[in-house]
Chain A
Amino acid sequence: MEILAVEGLSVRLTSHPGQPTILEDVGLTVSPGEVLGIVGESGSGKSMLALSIMGLLPPALAMSASRMSLLGHELAGEPREAWRTHRGRDVAMIFQEPMTSLNPVMRVGTQIEEVLRWRGGMRGGAARRRALELLEQVEIPSPRSRLGAYPHELSGGMRQRVMIAIALAANPRLLIADEPSTALDVTVQAQLLDLLRGLRRDAGLSLILITHDLGVIAEIADRVMVLYAGRVAETAPVRTLFDAPAHPYTQVLLASIPDITIRRPRLATIPGTVPAAGNMPQGCRFAPRCSYRHVLCERAPPALRPLSAEHEAACLRPFGELPA
């Protein structure tokens, strides 16, 4: 059984005239122990997707979905309170900047114990012992003394480890990580990715990793979903995505990043910028920036269709439906 299955997820900005969509018709699944990578630039809606799954959307955003199944519990159509039972227990989330998620005036150990008390009914010595175990699990050096530390006394990498320890406190099956390593130096990022890989291997944790960095995706993801302007452009196993990307957006995105192992004379560029919510093109949202654009692309957003077993693309071109 899937850990998470989402179908037909849309998010609207209700405070704006016309209620523009931030996300439109997004679907995804995560299997046990799987790492799903979600890639997108600013404005792709990738962070809103994470918040939708967590039931943490700001009030100005309204979500609808035909299916939102977490460990077999159907949550679509349920009130927000239904999420609260699962959030933090079955699914936990970590953010880019741990300093804004940690309580600055509370010791690290106390913050972990708080979750243990709320979620596991653990108290006193048992909670303290478990908190120590969690800090050991996230490989914090001298964990015993760190229990008494305040967040500002820790480095960025350490804080992110504390966030992971807090997220793990309730034994979730799924961890959603939104740009967890973006604010970190590259050597610290490598440590963090190793830790996430280890948690998946040893604890069978499933992971949704949201990032703009295709290098991070290549390091850790099993499957990848590419988001563009609130719609899914392509989903594929990680190797297929890098070897045979089908959507023109994925193709040019891969060609536009400098590669540390190959020196290209010149980088590919995508003209223009991501369209703003409320100003979306009628048809394919990438069409205005696409070099294969055709009048057919401007009629309606192309549906996400399977090219092979696990590979789907939302573009007419890979299906041979554009005149040459």
Chain B
Amino acid sequence: MSGVVSGEVLIEARGVRKHYPMRGGLGSATMVRAVDGVDLQIRKGETLGLVGESGCGKSTLGRLFLRLIEPTDGAILHKGTDLTDLGRRELRVRRRDLQIIFQDPFGSLNPRKTVGAIIAEAYAIHRLGSRAERARWLGETLDLVALPREAAHRYPHEFSGGQRQRIGIARALALKPEFVVCDEAVSALDVSVQSQIINLMQDLQQGLGLTYLFISHNLAVVRHISTRIAVMYLGRIVELAEADALFARPAHPYTRALLSAVPVPHPDRPRNRHVLPGDVPSATAVPKGCRFAPRCRFAEGRCGETDPPLSRLQDGSMVACLLAADGTLPPSGEVV
């Protein structure tokens, strides 16, 4: 669920790749194709959920959107400007609008700084405001995330996990950004605390008109918070759809297997279980043709030859599957 979503694209990845060299035993370099050709538009005011299993490249893609890492290839367009063209100073100015919240509220906060110093650091880096203004902004930011103002004088270790994630959110929001990458932002939290933080993030989105890229391996959380959802597999987006449509009519065989694996929190709720065999292949050895074909129960000869592009289905969702694209894939209801 999200605030006002316009059709306007806020930030966009175009043909983005990130390949890392990995030294082999004899000095030969193999390439890890962490992100391997992604086109993705994120609309102003929406929450775009990004799901996939470990190693699929979702965190790398999130960091590429902020240019926290340099892409091997491709462009990141923010309001018409390619972030990869910007120099250090221009990029720093741009980063006021682009922020990130990390998974681990324990590891991502400097233990030797007070909460106030952690949040207000952004004002110093960007040389914003007078001393009095900074103090006022700090107070307002703490109010936003429902932390008491005296929290500013304390250290991160004095807070519980949920409170620390509030500090992480406050730090990201200090400069009033438009776009926030949430990288497994609620994954380390206990259930009862997780729901507090999810509700807070939704309130902040409504109140501040934020746009989120919400990266998570937890499909139930992603469904709850997202407007649209992108499914990633081995460095590629294999499906992109409205959140409800994705869950009602998953088109890609990988999406179907992924959704069917999620435990349903009621013993009598119907299960449409199809257990996917094997593990995700390594990003150093991406299969030829469709990268999911070796594990796909519908794969045909052509799937091993042609790398399917993301193509639009009748209901508007995008899917990278040859069979789904030409309508020969059995409907998901028949998958048992």
B-contacting residues of A (Cβ < 8 Å)? 41-42, 141, 155, 157-158, 185-191, 193-194, 212-219, 238-239, 242, 252-254, 256-261, 263-271, 273-274
Contact across chains for B261 and A187 when beta carbons are under 8 A apart: yes
Instruction: Say yes or no: is B257 at the interface (Cβ < 8 Å to chain A).
Output: yes
Chain B, range 229-269, C-beta contacts under 8 Å to A: 243-244, 247, 257-269
Known: A141-B278, A214-B265, A269-B192. A187 touches B258 (CB 8 A): yes
A256:B194 contact, CB within 8 angstroms: yes
B195 touches A215 (CB 8 A): no
Contact A215 to B265, CB < 8 A, known contacts A187-B53, A188-B279, A268-B195: yes
| Chain B residues within an 8 Å CB radius of A185 | 53-54, 217, 280
A257 & B217 in contact (Cβ 8 Å cutoff): no
* A270 CA to B195 CA, complexed, in Å: 8
- With the chains together, A40 CA to B221 CA distance in Å? 19
Q: Is B162's CB within 8 Å of the partner chain A?
A: yes
Residues A259 and B265 in contact, CB atoms below 8 Å apart? yes
Interface check B191, CB cutoff 8 A: yes
Partner of A215, one of B1, B262, B276: B262
Query: Taking the complex as formed, is B193 at the interface, i.e. its CB lies under 8 A from any CB of chain A?
Result: yes
Contacting pair A41 B192 (CB below 8 A): yes
- Are B266 and A242 within 8 A (Cβ)? yes
Report how far A214 CA is from B265 CA in the complex, Å.
Answer: 6
- The answer to whether A212 and B191 touch across the interface, beta carbons within 8 angstroms, is yes
Contacts of A238 in B (CB 8 A): 267
Residues of A with C-beta under 8 A to B196: 269-271
Can you give 24 A-B contacts (C-beta < 8 A)? A141-B278, A157-B279, A185-B54, A185-B217, A186-B217, A187-B53, A187-B275, A187-B276, A191-B275, A193-B263, A218-B269, A219-B263, A219-B264, A219-B267, A258-B198, A258-B224, A259-B264, A259-B265, A260-B259, A260-B262, A263-B224, A268-B195, A271-B196, A273-B160
Which residue of the partner chain A has the closest CB to B224? A258
Q: Determine whether the beta carbon of B262 is less than 8 Å from that of A41.
A: no
Least CB distance from A311 to B in Å reads 15
B199 within 8 A of A: yes
Give A236 to B122 CA distance when docked, in angstroms: 51
